[in-house]
Structure formats: structure tokens, C-alpha cells
Structure 1
Amino acid sequence: MTLKVLLLLAIHLFQALAKPVEGEGPTVSLSAGTATGTSDGSVDRFLGLPFGTADRFDAPQPAPSWEGTYDASQYKPACIQKFQYPEEARNRTNSWFNIPGPPAGESEDCLYLNVFTPAGASEGSELKAVMFWIFGGGFSFGTGTLPLYDGTSFARNQDVIVVTINYRTNVFGFPGSPDKPLTEQNLGFLDQRLALDWVHRNIRAFGGDPDRVTLFGESAGSGGVEVLVTSPPDPLPFAGAIMQSGIASIAVPNRNSADSWKKLVRAAGCQTNDTLACIRALPALALKDIVERERLSFLAIFDGATYKRTGRADRLASTPDEPRIARVPVLFGSNADEGGVFVYGQTSIRAFVVRLLPTNIANIVNKVLDRYAKDNSPSPVNKQIAKIVGEFNFGCPAKIIAEESAKVGIPSWRYYFDAAFENTQIFKGSGAYHSSEINLIFGTYPRGGVPYQARVSKVMQKMWADFAKDPSNGPGWAQAPKVSIFGAGVRAGESGAGKPVMTMRHPGSIDRRCFLYKGIYKAAMFR
């Protein structure tokens, strides 16, 4: 027998062994067919379930049905990722937020989701609350398959069902092409909605309650959650919403995707009138390479359907009789050191603040600089810049939207995460940086740290789950404007022994500089 034949036999044998035998793992009957996952005895996992399909730059369509039993034992690829040059910044973003990266690589065939359930949960058992996770990444990169978002701990410890999804990002998700109708520009948001619709139609088969679905997300994922709240699908497919470090309705306008599309067309050398067809014809990785090297940004636009310009105004005008938005219970929050990852290496506070703030209100720059210099002196300049970015982009928007929600009678809670641990620091002094709470909430933090880390994780995870189980009663602390502080300011190298995990506080000391930005946020309502 030749070596080639032996190799082929070995490959076929491996493939046969890698596929679960029908009936071996937990099995569910879905609208598209039957799927078999895996179980460790306490948690059942169904990975890589297809919820949609889409050609490049087209709106997603429901995934087709399949024959036989679908193998849901392995993750499927992430959508195409984009990490911006220059090389140093690109490598830094990868090392901080993408190592280890997507376990199955990346592909344009990426509209898959993952379901984690307590073992044995089924349609015939008592239905469980569902937590629907939308990842962050600046609408440039990210995937629901990262180890950081493994839902095993949540499902095992809190008796909830966790769903993590993929959606298209960067040019593949928010192309900005003038040849696409306005309603097909925010493809990433359409992907999220289709995944949510899939959950609403299928989650009962996993033992999940379609009437108790809570959205939660961080950063751009949090923005995606808020967009679903302010531009809700009908009928409403969720009962609560948790927004971690990201508010879309109060954001200052970003760079224009339409301008990036024009630059992309030039860089790709498209000479034809049909530039959309020209870009579609490029190999995926060639398109990705152009977008990265040209440093092009493709972000969500106001389309009047998935993302409304009037989100904040609609919230303020919302009443039970004329809701305008989804009047579901909400939980907002931010971290103590959000800004550090965005200003790494910055040394000129004035130059950075001028770039950060809109040019039409540059007169506020001196007020901002003076106030932070007084409050943070003698903090290093970089720390002052980080604090400005953190409060302007995350902390103050969380405060304002939480309080405005409460003002119109929407049950509203707020948290502030203020803990840092040696085994999760991404650079020296990074503190409670942007996204650092996620591994505690999911229970995916590295083991072997101080006991206080495990205590914080246990409490936060339970409170997130409590919110999902009964959004009207909330996570277990007083509603806004009160704020729950997690972590007691513990920093890397400290044990946290004797420190409380959670304290309640009036937010005055946290929000004392938010008045500086009120004019900017108000202007953003009418941009």
C-alpha cells in the first residue's frame, strides 16, 4: 500500500472519529433541522449553529435547512477581522484583545452562533432565562467564539442559557457604498437582528424562554444593544438590556464610511462605473489588506431603521402610551480606567483633546484642560488624557442615559467597575481598563490569582444573571441615580483582603466633571 493511500485512509479515519455519533451528544430539533452538540455533564454546548447566510455586501438571509444531523461540536470561523496599521498599533491591539484569536480562523462565511445550556435543559423542562451576547471591537474586529466569551461558567453556575454570535464588521459589515440602499448599509446590525430572530424562534428547543431574553454587550457591542433598544424590532424579541461601556445614542459623529469607500475604490484601482462589482470581485483577504493598509474606517450610519438619529430624543419623549423605544429594564455601566487603552503613548494633552472634541466647540478645550489638571494634579499627562477619554466616551454617557431612562419611568440601574488584577493587566498600570470586567462576568478570568478576584467574579456574574432572570427587579441594588461600585479600587498587586466586593454610592464623585460635556452631548442629539 502506498504512502499516499495510507495518508488518505488516516485522514478519513480522523474525520470519522471527529464527528459525533448520532445520539452520542445532546440533540435539539431546530427550525432548520436537527443538531447535536457536546456535553461535559454540567453544560451542553452547541457551537457553530448557522443562523444566516449572505453574499458580500448583501443583507443576511435565514440559513437554509439541512438534511441529517448537524455537527454542532466545533466553532465556525469568525467574520473577516480588521486591525489598523501602523504596525506597532496593530500588534498592540492584537496582543491586548485578540490573543488567543478566533479558534476557527476567519471567513466571509461566518454567520454562526453558539448556545451554552445547563445540561439536560429542554423544551419539556422549566424554561430558563437567556443572555444574548454582542461582542465589541469598534465595529472593526471581534467574534463570539473567543475563549473570553465562553458561556460555560455562566450556564453552569447561574442556571441560564448563554448565546454568543458573530456579525460582520468593518467594510464587510458597514460598507458605505453609494450603490447600496440606505437600508442595506448597516449589515452588521442586520446580522445581529437576524441572530436575535433565530433565538426567538429556536431557543425554546434548548430549554430557553423566548420571553426572557436579555441583551448584553460591551463597547461596540454595547452600542449594538442600545441601537436595538432605541430602534427596536417589532415584535420585541427581548425583555432587558445590559450596556457595558458603550452608548450609541450619545456618541459624537464618527468618520464617514462613504469617504472611506471612495478611498477604497481608488486604492483598489477600480476604473469601472460599477465600483461595487469591482470591490466584490476582490479576494476577501486582498480587500482586508487594502482596508488595513490605507487605515480606512467603516462604521454604522443613521439609516432610520436599524440606527435612528433620534435615539436619545425618542428616549426622552418616551411614555408607556407612546413608547418610541423599547421600554425594557436597562443596566448601564463603565470602568474606572476606560481611556488608557485608547491613549497609550500619548504625551500632549492639548493636542489630543483638540482631536477628541468636535471642532465647532473647541472653545471648551481650555475648560476641560484646566479642570482635569486641577483634579488630577500631579498625575502624569497620559493619565489625565486617559481620564478625559474614559469619562467623555463612556462614564458620562452611562450616567446621562441611565438617569434619562429613569426620568421617563424605565427601570434603570448603573454600575462602576473599579478593580484590577495582576493576572489580567495588559500593560503596567492599565488598571480597570476598557473590557477588563468581561472575564469576571463570564467567569473566564485566569485562575491562580488572589481570592478577591474570584469573589468579584462570583458576585458580578450572579447579578448579571439575576437581572436576566427578572429584569423588572433588576440586579439587586438601588436604581439610578445610585451607582453600584464593584472592586473597591483594588489594584494589581493588592490582595483585596477585607475589601467589600460591592458598595453603593451616590455618583457625585464619579460624575463631577460630566457637566463639561453637556453641550457636546446636546449638540450630538441634533447632528
Structure 2
Amino acid sequence: MFRTACSFAFALSLIASPVIAERPVVGPTTRISSGRLVGVRQGDAIAYLGIPYAAPPIGPNRWRSPRAVAPWKGVRAADRFGPSCPQSIVPSLGPWTHEYLPSGDTSEDCLSLNVWRPRTASKNLPVLVWIHGGGFTSGSASVPVYDGAAMAEKGIVVVSLNYRIGFLGSLARPELRNSGGGNFGIQDQIEALRWVRRNIAAFGGDSRRVTISGQSAGAFSVHYLMLAPGARGLFRQAIAQSGVGLGTGYDLWLDSRENAERSAVSLFEAAGARTLDEARALSLPQLTSAYFKAGGIPGSPSGFKTKPYADGAVLPLDPAAALKEGRYNDVPVLIGLTADEGSGLNPSYRLTDQVRYERFLSARYGVIASRLGTLYPLAKPYPAADGGSPMPSLIRDSGIAATVAWSKERNRTSRFPLYAYVWTHVEPGPEATRYAAFHTSEVPYVFATLGKAPERPFTREDWRISRIVQSYWLNFVKTGDPNGAGLPRWPVFGANRAIVELGGNFGEYRSRNAEAEAALVEHITNGHSLFGP
């Protein structure tokens, strides 16, 4: 979820979870570079859970590039998820009920991944690598709707991974400039992809057929990996769900190195640490206290920031130039957003008060606020589903415009196709009318994990939609093209700007405001943010 969804306190959990011990477990086994594993059967799939892909980033390894895993002897049980990276654990948050959120233990020792493969032995299967969302302050590979079994049953290998988040994943210090850069969470993702290249054949996967995929912060991560020199050659396709729609022009929500380093200074001052080594010697509670003292509230306009930054090593200092000049990892891309991205993120999502509306426009859109007020007037009738407010249409069109702006620039130099979508289906459940097609709501349909929330009144129609959407994703993972037999045609996004609707209907997405889209695209292209002037 985006940063505003993570405005609850980032209180790092102090619950430590030890490395999974070797113990006698009967089940399917395989051997990887660090030792033997025994997994568990899960329907017509086999799961290997909680596999360490890097050494624990603790003590002297805190705020360092990921280190190699120490090999183990005997057979390691891989029958349960590893702990999530440090974060607050909440049972629900707005439209995101339990199946969308992490649970269980958290620990700094969290760099593990999970693999699902078909139960029937095979090899050279395409691979989907999933990167979780959470605004770079929360989230986990163990979130129930990310379960990869149903996807694996359809003939692919699925991998999900944890990566460092919060101040543990994004710290910036001048000392890091000459030692491989910061952005440790992104470095973790790259290391996990290297692990996949070395080991995925042990699970029947083909290291040459890897698709990276993620939603929200995971989708931004997909964009960062497309920009990261260290990720070159580690994947062949990319899927970004809700990743550009609410971004900031071509910087893709990246902080600058200078801003990130200022945040680190404030953290160290609050902690009473002068150097990295001194900060590494502090306990997690001490750093957590310093984080709050330094103003570390996710989404806050001031204080410590916890998002990736343009460091000049892991990620280019000028992402816009890299995109325009074709200096990125060029692959086929599937990209999209939900129709109601803001319904769970913005308490004013359906406001109808003129004064508050004008304040919102000014704060968010700056120099084009007045023009947007004319294009989206409060006096105009809006669909009942939008509560009579222009806000849902404006935020939806902003997301589409950001996607169009990025896509236009990318398509100038790319050799590969792009497929774009808007998800419109309303998931049944608590306050469905209020939240509609909310941020993340397409994920359980893609993974066919609707059963993870049996209390939601799903119907045959929900499962039908899930089968269609999952088929598109599987086809893309297997071939780089979502189209296939029996599916509505999904055209390539090009000069025609063909965006498809997924969910409520399957076909061309028609409800765009062409004049507003052009104004928003121009605004973004000129370097303006969608989060303020």
C-alpha cells in the first residue's frame, strides 16, 4: 500500500524469531547451493517456505549490502514462513482485512523467500517473482493473498520474498556513497533475484524466464529494478500493479540523495550516534525511539523519510534521464491500477465541500489546480458510486495520466510491448460501497486466493473473474503476452493508448476525460509531482 496507507505508527516490533532449526520433517526434498530442503505439499503444488537467501542483516551487517548465506548440514525444514521484517503488526486497516496484512513474528533476521512449484515434477518452467507492497514501511511475503500455490498449479514456479523496509532498508549516509550505495531493501531484491538465477532449477524453474512482479511499493520496486544496473539480465518481463498511478512524474517516487542523507542525519542525531558503526551497535528499541524522535511517521511531510532514493550506485542519480536515454533494463511490461486507488488512502476521497475541494486541488496539483477545478467541477453530476464527488474520477484519471506519461517516455526507446489495465471490479466485503475497487483489491483475483477470506461473500462471478485475470497473468509470465485462447483480446498499449478494463467488464476502458488526461500528462512531463506543487 502507498505511504498514506501506512500512516499508522511504524513501531518496529521487538519480537525476535530464531532461524528455523533443522528438525525431522517428512516431505519433498531438493538441494540448493546452501544445502538440502524439505518442503510441504499444498494441494497440487509443493511449497518451500522461509528459505534464507542472504545472511541475517544484523549487528555489523546492519546497513550493509546483503551477504552470502552460510551453508547448513543435513536437511533444513522449509515448512513455515520466516519472520516479517520489523514493522507494526495490525489486524486490519480500512478495506485491508486480515488476508491483506502480515501477521506473526517480526525480526531483523528476515531475509527469506518462499517457492511454490507444481506437484508433478517438471523443469524449465517460467518463474514469477513477487515483491510485496507496504509503502516501504510494512508488508511481508507471508501475506495470505500472496500465496503462490494456485498459480504454481497452473504450470509455473512462484517466488515471494522479504526485503528490508523502513529506516533499515533505506538509510542514506555520505559514507555509503563509495561502498556500493544504500537502498538496502532494493539491494535485497536484487540479491533474491541472484538467488533465483543460481537455484531456481532445483524447483523446476528456468532462470532465463523470470518475470518480476509487485503491487504498490512492490510495483515501484519493479520500476527501480528496471532502472538498476545490478539487476540487468536477472529478469525477462515485468508486471507493475498500482506502481506509477500515484507516482511523482518520472522520479517514480524516489527521494533525492541529499534529502535522504538529511533524514539519516536527523536519525543519527536523535540516536546520539556519530558514525555507522556506532548506530550498528545500538539496539532496535533505541533506533526505534530515535526514529520517532526524528519525526519518522510514514507519509509525514517532514521528518525522517523511509523510501528508496537516487543514490548513483544501486539506482541512477537522474532516473528521468535514464528513462529518456534508454538506460534501463528493457523488457515487456504489464502495468495498471485500480479504479479506486484513493478510497482506502484518503479520508476526503468523496468530499463535496467546495472550500475543502479547492484546498485539496491547490495542495496536490499546484499550478494546474484551477484548471482541474474547471474540468472536474463539484456542480457536475457524478455516478452514485462516486458519492456525487469529482474526487474518484480525478484521482483515477491522475493515475491513468501518470501511467500514460511514463509509458510515452518508455515507448520512445523500448523494443518490447506494453500492456495497460484499469481494475474496476468491487470485491464483496466490509463497506464494499465505500471502498469500491480499492488499492490492492485485484491481487487475490490474480493469485486465486479468494478463499483466504471465507467471511467475504464471494460468488461464482468472483471466481469467474479470477480465472480470467489469472489466465492473463499466467500467459504473460509464460510468453510475454497476456493474450490466449478463450480470453477477450488485450491490445498492446502504443500510440492508440489502449487501456483495458479488467473486472467489471473485459474490454476497452472508456471513461477517460481526454482534456483532463492531456493536462495531467503535460503537468507530469514538466516534472511536477502528483503529491504537491
TM class by smaller structure? 0.7 to 0.9
Within 2, Cα distance between the matches of 1:469 and 1:133? 15
The residue type paired with residue 517 of structure 1 is L
Give the deviation of 1:466 after TM superposition. Answer: 0.5
Asked whether 1:261 is paired with 2:257, we answer: no
Give CA deviations for 1:398-438 in whole Å, capped at 9, x if unaligned.
22333444444421111110010222x56641111111111
Q: Tell me the secondary structure at the aligned position of residue 163 of structure 1.
A: strand
The residue type paired with residue 526 of structure 2 is A
Q: Return the match for 2:512 from 484, 498, 509.
A: 509
8 Å CA contact retained: 1:240, 1:471: yes
Asked whether 1:204 is paired with 2:201, we answer: yes
Check 1:375–1:186 CA distance in 2 against 1; reply closer, same or farther (3 A cut). Answer: farther
Please give the residue correspondences for 1:14-413 in structure 2 after superposition, counting only pairs within 5 Å: 21=24, 24-53=26-55, 54=57, 55-81=61-87, 93=93, 96=96, 101-121=101-121, 125-156=122-153, 158-181=154-177, 183-233=180-230, 235-247=232-244, 249-251=250-252, 254=255, 256-268=259-271, 270=272, 273-274=274-275, 276-292=276-292, 294=295, 295=297, 296-318=304-326, 324-345=327-348, 347=351, 348-357=356-365, 362-373=366-377, 377=381, 383-392=389-398, 394-408=399-413, 409-413=415-419
Instruction: State the match for 2:461 in structure 1.
Output: 452
Check 1:101–1:91 CA distance in 2 against 1; reply closer, same or farther (3 A cut). Answer: closer
Check 1:136–1:98 CA distance in 2 against 1; reply closer, same or farther (3 A cut). Answer: farther
Q: Which structure 1 segments of 5+ residues have no match?
A: 1-17, 84-89, 319-323, 489-500
Check 1:45–1:426 CA distance in 2 against 1; reply closer, same or farther (3 A cut). Answer: farther
Give the deviation of 1:459 after TM superposition. Answer: 0.7
The residue type paired with residue 310 of structure 2 is F
Give the deviation of 1:107 after TM superposition. Answer: 0.5
The residue type paired with residue 52 of structure 1 is A
8 Å CA contact retained: 2:123, 2:201: no
Q: Tell me the secondary structure at the aligned position of residue 527 of structure 2.
A: helix
Within 2, Cα distance between the matches of 1:115 and 1:92? 26
Check 1:282–1:334 CA distance in 2 against 1; reply closer, same or farther (3 A cut). Answer: same
The residue type paired with residue 347 of structure 2 is Y
Q: Which structure 2 segments of 5+ residues have no match?
A: 1-20, 298-303
Check 1:375–1:516 CA distance in 2 against 1; reply closer, same or farther (3 A cut). Answer: farther
Identity of aligned residues (%): 27
Aligned length: 473
8 Å CA contact retained: 1:117, 1:206: yes
Q: Tell me the secondary structure at the aligned position of residue 421 of structure 2.
A: strand
8 Å CA contact retained: 1:43, 1:119: yes
Relative contact order higher in (CA < 8 Å, ≥ 6 apart): 2
8 Å CA contact retained: 1:79, 1:107: yes
Check 1:82–1:139 CA distance in 2 against 1; reply closer, same or farther (3 A cut). Answer: farther
Instruction: State the match for 1:471 in structure 2.
Output: 480
Q: Tell me the secondary structure at the aligned position of residue 422 of structure 1.
A: coil
Within 2, Cα distance between the matches of 1:91 and 1:75? 18
Give the deviation of 1:260 after TM superposition. Answer: 2.7
Give the deviation of 1:221 after TM superposition. Answer: 0.6
Check 1:46–1:292 CA distance in 2 against 1; reply closer, same or farther (3 A cut). Answer: farther
8 Å CA contact retained: 1:154, 1:160: yes
Give the deviation of 1:176 after TM superposition. Answer: 2.4
Instruction: State the match for 1:440 in structure 2.
Output: 445
8 Å CA contact retained: 2:95, 2:344: no
Give CA deviations for 1:32-63 in whole Å, capped at 9, x if unaligned.
11111111351100000000122221111121
Which has the higher mean CA deviation after the structures are superposed, 132-141 or 257-266? Answer: 257-266
Asked whether 1:487 is paired with 2:503, we answer: yes
Give the deviation of 1:375 after TM superposition. Answer: 8.8
The residue type paired with residue 506 of structure 2 is M
Check 1:146–1:262 CA distance in 2 against 1; reply closer, same or farther (3 A cut). Answer: same
Check 1:235–1:174 CA distance in 2 against 1; reply closer, same or farther (3 A cut). Answer: closer
Check 1:421–1:65 CA distance in 2 against 1; reply closer, same or farther (3 A cut). Answer: same
Q: CA RMSD in A?
A: 3.1
